[in-house]
Amino acid sequence: MKPLKILFADDDLKYSMLLKRFLEKEGYEVTYAGNGTIALEQFLLVKPDLVLLDINMPGSNGFEVAERIRETDKHVLIFFLSDRSDKADRLQGFQLRANDYLAKPFYPEELIARIRERFASQLSDTVEEETYCFGQSVFNYSTNEIRTGNNKVLITSRQADILRLLARHPNLAVERDALLATVWGTSSYANSLALNVQITYLRKALRNDPAVQIESLMKKGYVLKVSDSSFINNLK
């Protein structure tokens, strides 16, 4: 079995080297990044199974790194390791879809136990692809991929979350507040503007399919308009 690949980002070098050596003795393959900017660069190169993030780092902080990672990868595990233990920080971590949050100081053995528990749960789960067919397109929510004939478009995880909700209710209105609550967790003005932008990107991603379009409903929401009524929802 290949060793688990971990990307570990923390600007405290002395502490990080001690924890890195501990993890490596447990059989893990660890790549260290001294700040958030390097962590994002290494994420693309290493393709880790687990990302360990401090929050207070130069460059991009841990929250910003997690948000960027989740835009393209909804499956990789993310743990925050931080001396920021306030409820607000923990909530923000989980709103960014982190899988765990350990407040410093903690025993390294506790981290190992949590890693083992998380990956044991992952391996025991049956992985099923979640796909939606509409018009001439097939949308694979599990891989963020839209296929229309020979054309393939890869969208971000956030765009996939939006399209998933629309695809579950084709030709029916989905309210803005429902989209905002499901995808962002809040209906703030900034998130409302972000939704407008993501809808624009989704329209571009679907432009190869003449049978499908996302229509805006004034002061209400959006509808995935499918002119071909032979769509099949949620194929497994």
pLDDT of residue 232: 45
pLDDT of residue 1: 56
pLDDT for 26-53, tens place per residue?
999 999 999 999 999 999 999 999 999 9
pLDDT of residue 3: 82
In eight-state DSSP terms, residue 85 is: -
Q: By three-state DSSP, how is residue 19 classified? A: helix
pLDDT for 77-116, tens place per residue?
999 998 887 888 888 888 888 889 998 888 899 999 889 8
Query: Cα–Cα distance between 204 and 101 in angstroms, integer?
Result: 37
CB contact at 8 A, 49 and 4:
yes
In percent, the amount of the chain with pLDDT more than 70 equals 92
189-202 average pLDDT score: 90
Q: What is the pTM of this model?
A: 0.56
220-232 average pLDDT score: 74
The answer on pLDDT for 184 being more than 60 is yes
CB contact at 8 A, 176 and 221:
yes
In percent, the amount of the chain with pLDDT more than 90 equals 51
Paired strand residues for 80:
53, 101
> Residue 222: pLDDT band by 50, 70, 90 thresholds?
very high
- What is the chain's mean pLDDT, rounded? 87
pLDDT of residue 205: 93
pLDDT of residue 236: 40
* Residue of 165, 170, 147 lying closest to 230 (CA atoms): 170
- The mean-pLDDT minimum among 78-82, 121-125, 144-148, 149-153 falls in 121-125
How many CA within 13 A on the CB side of residue 229?
Answer: 0
